[in-house]
Amino acid sequence: MSNENKSEAMEDEVLNNVENQELNQEDQSVEEETVETEPALSVEEQLQEDLNKEKDKFLRLFAEFENYKKRTSKERMDLFKTAGQEVLVSLLPVLDDFERAMKELAKSDDKEMVKGVALIQNKLVDTLKAKGLQDIVVKQGDDFDAEIHDAITQIPAPNKKLKGKVIDVIEKGFKLGDKIIRHPKVVVGN
CATH of 133-190 given 3.40.50.720, 2.170.120.20, 2.40.50.220, 2.30.22.10:
2.30.22.10
Q: Give the chain's length.
A: 190
In sequence order, what are the residues at sequence separation of 6 or more whose Cβ sits closer than 8 angstroms to the Cβ of residue 144?
A: 151, 164, 165, 166, 186, 188
Query: Domain spans of the chain?
Result: 1-31, 42-81, 85-131, 133-190
Is the confidence at residue 74, as pLDDT, over 80? Answer: yes
What pLDDT score was predicted for residue 35?
46
Residue 136 pairs with which residues in a beta bridge? 173
pLDDT exceeds 90 at position 91: yes
- Per residue in 154-166, pLDDT (tens digit) is 998 888 888 889 9
The answer, as to whether pTM is greater than 0.85, is: no
Beta strands in the chain (DSSP E): 133-136, 150-155, 166-171, 173-176, 179-182, 185-189
Task: Look at residue 25 and give its three-state secondary structure.
Answer: helix
